[in-house]
């Protein structure tokens, strides 16, 4: 469910299904009516939908259930239809967290996260879920502060550049 679906997502999903031997297909839908698309998913028995911006928050009130991590993140990117009951998940954080877990233990790790936008928000909640101590650095210090507060982390102190003293002599 996207306003402007791209073929890359379909190619990636189809390759994954083939590699796993799953008899699934992936069809990108250009959607302008989120409520209608959600009703259609339920009515047609569509098993799952991927959700992209700008619908990751708009779809939440239309679902029957929200995964606890998705609820804390405040965004859903995957909807699963279990016999007409729609449950929302956020899987954006999972890939990043799993990749990090391949090389380090996240519980108790100190992590500097650059950014406080949508993807960073999902990753920050995933890191917090795994017990990492998170410091958020972002150009917009207020967004960094808000995200840090939401995940129990801290905002990186301002790193605004100060003018250098003049070295030229008169």
Active-site positions read 56
Q: How many CB atoms lie within 10 A of CB 159?
A: 8
pLDDT in tens, 86-103: 999 999 899 899 999 999
Instruction: Establish whether the linkage from the previous residue to 109 is cis, with ω within 30° of 0.
Output: no
Concatenating the DSSP letter of every residue in 14-68 gives: HHHHHHHT--------B-S-HHHHHHHHHHHT--EEE--TTSTTTTGGGSSEE-H
Give the pTM: 0.75
CA distances to 3, 60, 135 from 54, rounded to whole Å, are: 7, 12, 27
Say how many CA atoms lie within 13 Å of 120 toward its Cβ: 18
pLDDT in tens, 107-119: 999 999 999 887 8
Return the closest-CA partner of residue 97 out of 134, 125, 135.
125
Provide the residue-wise pLDDT of the chain in tens; the chain has 170 residues: 888 888 788 898 899 999 999 999 988 889 999 999 999 999 999 999 999 888 989 999 999 999 998 998 988 999 999 999 999 999 989 989 999 999 999 999 999 999 988 788 999 999 999 999 999 999 999 999 999 999 999 998 865 555 556 666 55
Q: Element (H or E) spanning 92, and its range?
A: helix 92-101
């Amino acid at each position: 469910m996207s306003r402007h679906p791209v073929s890359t997502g379909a190619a990636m999903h189809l390759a994954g299904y083939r590699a796993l031997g799953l008899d699934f297909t992936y069809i990108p839908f250009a959607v302008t009516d989120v409520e209608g698309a959600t009703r259609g998913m339920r009515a047609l028995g569509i098993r799952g939908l991927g959700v992209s911006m700008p619908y990751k928050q708009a779809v939440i009130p239309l679902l029957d259930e929200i995964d606890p991590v998705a609820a804390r993140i405040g965004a859903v990117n995957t909807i699963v239809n279990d016999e007409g009951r729609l449950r929302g998940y956020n899987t954006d954080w999972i890939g990043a967290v799993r990749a990090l877990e391949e090389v380090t233990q996240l519980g108790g790790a100190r992590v500097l996260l650059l950014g406080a936008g949508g993807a960073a928000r999902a990753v920050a909640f995933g890191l917090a879920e795994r017990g990492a101590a998170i410091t958020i650095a972002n150009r917009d210090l207020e967004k960094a502060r808000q995200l840090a507060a939401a995940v129990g982390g801290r905002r990186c102190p301002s790193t605004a550049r100060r003018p250098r003293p003049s070295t030229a002599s008169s």
